Structure 1
């Protein structure tokens, strides 16, 4: 069953995010006022070397939580998801990933938000120097893959895109 948008307008927005008001016709013919978020796409990178993964210890002020996350960021205009996935680790951690392979893609809240999350994996990396993004994390560490299930259980990893990427790697390592 397909919903149809008759009209859409912006309520508020900036270069990354737009809150939208939509006039939507549901499959039964009823028209409703609907609100949605149009958000830029995100790329994240799982960098694994010698059974370790590159993670950043970050504070997220909106939820006032600390947790480990993958390097990630907005896919800039004119940039491919793979280009963003190659750029973000170097900017945020100082590590330049080797060749990237697409790991998984998700639409985390497709009923209210149109952002797509692209997760790539690199199995090599080279240190390029200190991070250029200075407001991203307190610590950057190589964490053993074997430690990840316990970290997830203890809620030390809670970011959706990070969980998705790491769990996909753990699944691929099993078989």
Structure 2
């Protein structure tokens, strides 16, 4: 029985793996699924069942067929997506929220963020979350990028926006959210990211994006 189950499912045991990775190729950047070779990497879903239903996300169990024909089990967190906001004051300070994270058992320092409701426009969600968590309204919000938070097991996409022209109104966090808000020099946050003192992925990306944009703008102005 055990042998027959092992022959049907494959979850990363290398005992009988006989394939190798593709040889390194020097080339220009080609995004995923745009390279003809990528077709040989694809897994074919055979079934998907909800293994666990939560308040924020579900965990689904998939049976897939691997490129070599064997079958494997994939546990995937299905998440509706989220937004995160890099909110900058006119004085060059970035708005950060301090919040206790049960999963890490400590308070983290992050840019404001929140979950999308099904069908919600991410731009509208960014304005809503910024106001709810920090009490700030923005005169202008611009899209920066989208990141996959942990694509090895989760389909969550976080849409990151930059908010400027900030004015303080009144915060309204969720009933189970307890938040303190800081306004920190952007350069100080970037230094903390580069020193490894900021671990939150969306905050790392948001800070480095701002730093990169700032340097590119300064470079363009120097060229002129």
The CA distance in 2 between the partners of 1:149 and 1:96, in whole Å, is 24
1:30 alignment counterpart? 70
- 1:91-110 equivalence runs, <5 A: 91-110=132-151
Shift of residue 29 of structure 1? 1.1
Structure (1 or 2) with the greater helix fraction: 2
Structure of greater relative contact order (alpha carbons < 8 Å, 6+ residues apart): 1
Out of 87-96 and 57-66, give the one that drifted further. Answer: 57-66
Q: Which runs of 5+ in 1 are unaligned?
A: none
Structure (1 or 2) with the greater strand fraction: 1
What TM-score comes out, normalization by structure 2 length? 0.73
Bigger CA radius of gyration: 2
- 1:12-161 equivalence runs, <5 A: 12-49=52-89, 50-129=91-170, 131-133=171-173, 135-152=176-193, 153=195, 155=197, 157-161=198-202
CA RMSD of aligned residues (A): 1.6
The count of residues paired between Structure 1 and Structure 2 equals 173
Query: Would you say 1:163 and 2:204 are equivalent positions?
Result: yes
Kept in 1, the 8 Å contact 2:135–2:172? The answer is: yes
Shift of residue 135 of structure 1? 4.6
Q: Which runs of 5+ in 2 are unaligned?
A: 1-40, 217-224
